[in-house]
Amino acid sequence: MLVIGALNLGITAMVGALLHFVPHPRLSPPSIAFGVRTPPDLAGDPVILQQRRRYGSTLLVTTPVISLLAALAGSLLDSVAPASVGVAVLCFAAATLWARAHRAITQAKDTGNWYGHLRQGAVADTSLRTDPVRFPWPWTIPSALIIAVTALAGVVVYPDLPDTLKLPQHSLGENGYREYPTTVWTAFGLVFGQVLLTVLMAGMVVLALRARPDLDAAQPRESAERYRGYLAGTARAILGITTLLNLMLLGLSAAIWSENRSGWLLATIVGVPLAASLAVTAHLVLRVGGGGSRVPAEAPTGLVRRDDDRHSVAAGLFYVNANDPAVLVPSRVGRGWTVNLGNPRFLAGAAATLAAAGGAAALFALL
């Protein structure tokens, strides 16, 4: 019970810490404050600083309280369900604070006419198409080896498995395990999950390498070189996290096959890869994301990024522009990218994906 409580505490606290640092300048895109495009010389405007302090201090108080309540409830119920509830509460609180800050900064921006005296511009790097950042294929080898080891181990132990396997309950109100008949689907389910995870993450890297960059119109060459470094680091980090998650699924498969339900073992199998993934993400943001310090400085052009707030909706959380051919665009919430919800190709792809997922779920239920 103490292990489950600690797991609830760790999950909730980790999510709260991540939400706390999302608006930090190191984690947010340049010239973006709570989803609002701002001129570079107003990044330290009192309104922006006030909203950052209000957002951070509120979550700094809320996160420990919610985490402790989740830990206590998890210990009493012997379930990780309270962590899900705690994460939902923290996300709702962060979204509310974010929307309030977005509204306050937007009002200050409109009232002060922040872009009235500035020359706006856009820049494109055509070399990202003619000489793109290459997919780091060697970084897929560890995941492939882990999947092969997991599958081989499953083939070896499969003949000696009992007639039923105890698998965790998936419903929120149910705790413990339920016995399922031993089949290829139940015994190798996490192996199939490894394959699907690896394919999806590799596809994410491919899309990221073709995403539209948000280059600085003031220093186009310098920002383009910095973006290339960030893109290469992000691709390697995504595939590195994929390796860690595949390692976690290997450990969970071994726990199912051996019927070892030790709380400490399961916490280690899940917690260590997740903590390592968080460390990889932190390294990406703090080191790779802020890279480019060795890029030679260039003379400023006198331009600033275009004020494109009209294409952002829901406090900057989503991007909608039917005239933008890009499927992936820079996100206004933290580092990375988001989808263009107005792009017809994305809408068609999303519909096809949902149809395929629904068909696969129905087939799995029948089998």
Tokens, residue 146: 């882990």
Beta-bridge mates of residue 165: 180
Query: 341, exposed or middle or buried, with CB in 10 Å at 0-12, 13-18, 19+?
Result: middle
Domain that holds residue 138: 123-301
Tokens 């779920």 locate to: 361
* 23 located within any domain: no
Residues of the chain with pLDDT under 70: 1, 30, 168-176, 263, 285-298, 360-361, 364-367
* 49 located within any domain: no
Secondary structure string (H, E, C) spanning the chain: CHHHHHHHHHHHHHHHHHHHHCCCCCCCCCCEECCEECCHHHCCCHHHHHHHHHHHHHHHHHHHHHHHHHHHHHHHHCCCHHHHHHHHHHHHHHHHHHHHHHHHHHHHHHHHCCCCCCCEECCCCCHHHHCCCCCCHHHHHHHHHHHHHHHHHHHHHHHHCCCEEEEECCCCCCCCEEEEECCHHHHCHHHHHHHHHHHHHHHHHHHHHCCCCCCCCCCHHHHHHHHHHHHHHHHHHHHHHHHHHHHHHHHHHHHHHHCCCCHHHHHHHHHHHHHHHHHHHHHHHHHHCCCCCCCCCCCCCCCEECCCHHHEECCCCEECCCCCCCCEEECCCCCCEEEECCCHHHHHHHHHHHHHHHHHHHHHHHC
* 115 located within any domain: no
Tokens 């962060």 locate to: 94
* 285 located within any domain: yes
Mind listing the pLDDT tens digit for each residue in 66-98? 999 999 988 888 777 888 899 999 999 999 999
The total number of structural domains in the chain stands at 1
Query: Helices 189-209 & 141-157, crossing angle to 10 degrees?
Result: 170
* 197 located within any domain: yes
Structure confidence at residue 294 (pLDDT): 45
* 263 located within any domain: yes
* 192 located within any domain: yes
Structure confidence at residue 28 (pLDDT): 76
**pTM of the entire structure?**
0.79
Tokens 């809408």 locate to: 347
Structure confidence at residue 286 (pLDDT): 66
* 345 located within any domain: no
Structure confidence at residue 117 (pLDDT): 86
